[in-house]
A and B are shown apart, each in its own frame.
Chain A
Amino acid sequence: MENSTILIKVCMGTGGIAAGGTEVISAFEKELQAEGISAAVEKHCSVHKVGCRGFCARDVLVDVLIDGEKTTYEYIKPDMVSRIVKEHILQGEAVQEWVVKDDYRTFHEKQRKVVLSDCGEVDPEDIGSYMERGGYDALRKVLTSMTPEETIEVIKSSGLRGRGGAGFPTGLKWEFARRAPGDTKYLICNADEGDPGAFMDRSIIEGNPHSVIEGMVIGAFSMGAHRGYVYIRAEYPLAVERLRLALEQARKKGLLGEHIAGTEFSFDIKIKLGAGAFVCGEETALIASIEGKRGMPRAKPPFPAQKGLWGKPTVINNVETLANIPYIVRNGAGWFAQFGTERSKGTKVFALTGKIKNSGLIEVPLGIRLHEIVHDIGGGIEGDRKLKAVQTGGPSGGCIPAEMIEIPVDYESLAEAGSIVGSGGMVVMDETDCMVNIAKYFLEFTQAESCGKCVPCRIGTKRLLEILTRITDGRGRPGDIELLESLSNDVRAASLCGLGQTAPNPVLSTLRYFKAEYEAHVHEKRCPAGVCKNLLTYTILEEFCTGCTMCARVCPANAIVGERKTPHRIIQDICIKCGACFETCKFKAIKKG
């Protein structure tokens, strides 16, 4: 291997670091400097940190590239490094038992990576690594050979729509801001990703922050802004750090600041840390927060494009939206528009989680069937149980029932089904998930995150949560389902901002597809999925019980009695319904229901 170029890429996203990526990198560095490695190998071999490539569950993921030929290892620990170095790097023989299996290939096969195409490939802390792969070419092209109008036209004809949730056409937004009168305009990148379980924006910034910066400069040029902000959660320390570093490097290279790329155009970016309020993802609340005020939304119109930050025309774009821009400019609007459907162009990043075999970050062409995501990319349901529903769009979204698994995943189809694409959360649920409980979970979140400004959201979501809580606690009353539905509709219609207007969606969509489950809770005091504790009883089936005493031993409440080798019994008054006996019993002698 003495004359080969060897690249070792170690995943150092948040997932990679948590799994021990830092130690793995040091192990490689140490091994490569150790005795016995010839100077020639050392010269041609380098170790790089790269961002998340999506399959965090398999971290630490390591790519070994020998003359461009890639081998990927999964679940790498520091003590495995020396064998990889000895066998693979020195002798050219991959350690097959640690190489990723077929499911790694199927996980990626149906994905189409645009935004994430460089994530996992480039070193996010090195601008040169991005530039080697064509980074900042789009910016140079725009600044030196295109007018703002032409640039807007490219984005418009690409069909790119806002990836933050609402799906407003990006080019149109830029055009409104460009046409708005005034010399001072602002471009804000919304990195206040707050949906539970969502980590699309985080991974993009951690994995390839320069794509966002490049997108912002192009956007600023198009709309005529000279000052930009990235509003990012303080809870994303790694993303903030890498972004800060990327901004510095871009400034040093003359790609940000005064006279960008030697042209007349100047634009600089400031980082504004968010304090963790979900509502600050709403654009008018975000603007208030940057201005130093309490993050509360205001009524629109006037829209930010007319009157935004400090009263000036302002465009707010989501991270993923902006990260798409360099690739669209580089490859052309037509190239981008080949992905997706008639009205939903391009690809979308989703955070695929829940009861699924392969969970992680995926990027798929819009219009892909939900079935393909769940079964092909996701590898099907964990434990081979039955799929029940897929929740999309986070707390503002809804549930798509298993019967609709063939639905195309695009803005229109999901909206028709009572859900949304949203920012890209996707939670897969199986038959052991209670839909009333799921609705309650999301309401707990939105209720706590309401800013308190408008009555329907402040008190309405609280009352919705109270009704859901009593239903799942077994205290549901006749009429509760109707009340839930009517209040949900009122909160949706009467709330001020997107948070309140969409907060009832998880309730309304589960009511639409799983009403029977609500009815079982309220009328029969039964939780069909066996989740709601107060509605559960555990009983021992005498005919199966061997009297092994395992259940009695694990019961934390000492609620199980019985002689050895004779059937046991659960004392219902003492039982706390923790389910420990159910989990432990080897003879399926405990019935839940």
Chain B
Amino acid sequence: MLTLTIDGRQIEVKEGSTVLQAAREHEIYIPTLCDDPRLEPYGGCRLCLVQIEGVPRPVTACTTPVSEGMKVETTNEYIEGLRRTVVELILSDHPNDCMVCEKAGDCTLQELAYFYGLRENRFRGERRQYAKRDANPFIERDMEKCILCGKCVRVCEEVQGVSAIEIAYRGFNAKVCPPFEKDLDCEFCGQCVSVCPTGALMGKLSLGKGRQKDIKKVDTVCPYCGCGCNLTLHVARNEVIRVSSSPETLNEGWLCVKGRFGFKFISSPERLNTPLIRKNGRFEEVSWQEALDHVAERLGGIRDRYGPDAIAGLSSARCTNEENYLFQKFFRAAVGTNNVDHCARY
């Protein structure tokens, strides 16, 4: 453990921590835009600039490792002035169309503009404008809102191992894009969407479906595979419009394309809502009681006539572990056969 002082408070942190981690552990607020604790430090947004005694220029808290006896100041007039300039510069190259932006209410940039009370902008000037819309099916990419924090690029490389996007061009014209500025053609895991601090990356399925304030959040588990990723369903007017996952979950907030974007079946008109039994060649809706009785009767009949090994059970990875456990238990103990399997194997 190392001892250092942040804003006059003496604190102890693990060796190897960054100043930002140390401050967060002790609930000292330092604003950031490009930081994500799950990704390598980047030092691009310059919002986490702090002053360290004995160091001539301000340094970024996210990239600076702590050292014994270090004295850090995270806020003062000078530092806040620099941060204010940074936010103002970002806003001078931003559409500032919060009134119609999907991200409004959940946007880090909006929060910072509010925090610094930036009604006017001293640096008004040219703004990047891009006409082309990315035609991929899942991710709405509005690069005019991109602040080049590089989180999407890093998550794609560091977490997903795909590197489908990179920063192209230089200086003011720098732009995150797929190779040769083609339409995005990746595995569409949507990790980039999940880390974007502004409205530059949004899920296409949720566009126009509801503002942040109208959303009810419901925690659940992903129904697709046996991994059991935690999901948070964003529900508006009794319809799931978006899926997210919290970084505090077992899956650290990471999801795949199915978990993140494969939620349309929930409100599909083709979805089965009641059991069906085929009668006279046609499916008819029946009650659960009738359906279960029917299955029990038929399974019992087959077992009595041909023996339990005449029956086999196949389960799905989309069921939970508990359900799959019960399924094999039912086959082994109740039906009396070992003929039981599962798409991900028992």
Nearest CB to that of B45 among chain A residues?
A: A455
In the complex, the answer to whether A490 meets B172 with C-beta atoms within 8 Å is: no
Contact with B along A467-489 (1 / 0, CB 8 A): 00000000000000001000100
Nearest CB to that of A298 among chain B residues?
A: B43
Q: Is A277's beta carbon under 8 Å from chain B? A: yes
Contact with A along B42-78 (1 / 0, CB 8 A): 1111100100000001111001110000000000000
In the complex, the answer to whether A462 meets B126 with C-beta atoms within 8 Å is: yes
- Chain A interface mostly: helix
Contact A455:B43 (CB < 8 A) given known A463-B125, A493-B57: no
Interchain CA distance A296-B170 in the complex, whole Å: 10
Total residues of chain A contacting the partner, CB 8 A:
33
Which of B79-87, B134-142, B271-279, B301-309 has 4 or more CB atoms under 8 Å from chain A?
Answer: B79-87
| A296 neighbours in B (Cβ, 8 Å) | 167
| B148 neighbours in A (Cβ, 8 Å) | 452-453, 455, 458
Q: Is B320's beta carbon under 8 Å from chain A? A: no
In the complex, the answer to whether B171 meets A455 with C-beta atoms within 8 Å is: no
Contact A466:B46 (CB < 8 A) given known A277-B170, A452-B148, A458-B174: no
Which of B89-97, B100-108, B200-208 has 4 or more CB atoms under 8 Å from chain A?
Answer: B89-97
Closest-CB distance, B92 to chain A (whole angstroms) = 7
Q: Is B6's beta carbon under 8 Å from chain A? A: no
Q: B126 contacts which of A301, A454, A466, A490 (Cβ < 8 Å)? A: A466
Q: A455 contacts which of B65, B90, B167 (Cβ < 8 Å)? A: B90
In the complex, the answer to whether B43 meets A454 with C-beta atoms within 8 Å is: yes
Q: Is B166's beta carbon under 8 Å from chain A? A: yes
| B43 neighbours in A (Cβ, 8 Å) | 298-299, 454, 496
Within B140-169, the residues touching A (CB, 8 Å) are: 147-148, 150, 166-167, 169
Q: Is A448's beta carbon under 8 Å from chain B? A: yes
In the complex, the answer to whether B45 meets A494 with C-beta atoms within 8 Å is: no
In the complex, the answer to whether B85 meets A487 with C-beta atoms within 8 Å is: yes
Interface residues on B, range: 35 or more
Closest-CB distance, A448 to chain B (whole angstroms) = 6
Contact A494:B49 (CB < 8 A) given known A454-B43, A455-B44, A455-B90: yes
Closest-CB distance, A462 to chain B (whole angstroms) = 4
Closest-CB distance, A226 to chain B (whole angstroms) = 28
Q: Which of A294, A301, A455 has the most chain B CB atoms inside 10 A of its CB?
A: A455
Closest-CB distance, B43 to chain A (whole angstroms) = 4
In the complex, the answer to whether A462 meets B171 with C-beta atoms within 8 Å is: yes
Closest-CB distance, A349 to chain B (whole angstroms) = 28
Contact A466:B125 (CB < 8 A) given known A455-B45, A455-B90, A459-B92: yes
In the complex, the answer to whether A456 meets B86 with C-beta atoms within 8 Å is: yes
| A487 neighbours in B (Cβ, 8 Å) | 85, 122-123
Interchain CA distance A493-B90 in the complex, whole Å: 17
In the complex, the answer to whether B171 meets A454 with C-beta atoms within 8 Å is: no
Q: A494 contacts which of B63, B85, B150, B169 (Cβ < 8 Å)? A: B85
In the complex, the answer to whether A454 meets B46 with C-beta atoms within 8 Å is: yes
Contact with A along B172-212 (1 / 0, CB 8 A): 11100000000000000000000000000000000000000
In the complex, the answer to whether A456 meets B85 with C-beta atoms within 8 Å is: yes
Nearest CB to that of A469 among chain B residues?
A: B125
Contact A450:B170 (CB < 8 A) given known A299-B41, A496-B43: yes
Closest-CB distance, B151 to chain A (whole angstroms) = 13
Closest-CB distance, B181 to chain A (whole angstroms) = 15
Residues of B in contact with A (beta carbons under 8 Å apart): 41-46, 49, 57-60, 63-65, 81-82, 85-86, 89-90, 92-93, 122-123, 125-126, 147-148, 150, 166-167, 169-174
What are 28 A-B residue pairs whose CB atoms fall within 8 Å in the complex?
Answer: A294-B166, A294-B167, A299-B60, A299-B63, A450-B172, A452-B171, A452-B174, A453-B148, A455-B86, A455-B148, A456-B85, A456-B89, A458-B148, A458-B174, A459-B92, A459-B93, A459-B172, A460-B89, A462-B126, A463-B89, A463-B125, A487-B122, A487-B123, A490-B82, A494-B58, A494-B82, A494-B85, A496-B60
Apart from A455-B147, A458-B148, what 13 extra A-B contacts exist at CB < 8 Å? A298-B63, A301-B65, A449-B170, A450-B170, A450-B172, A452-B174, A454-B44, A455-B44, A462-B93, A463-B89, A490-B85, A494-B85, A495-B46
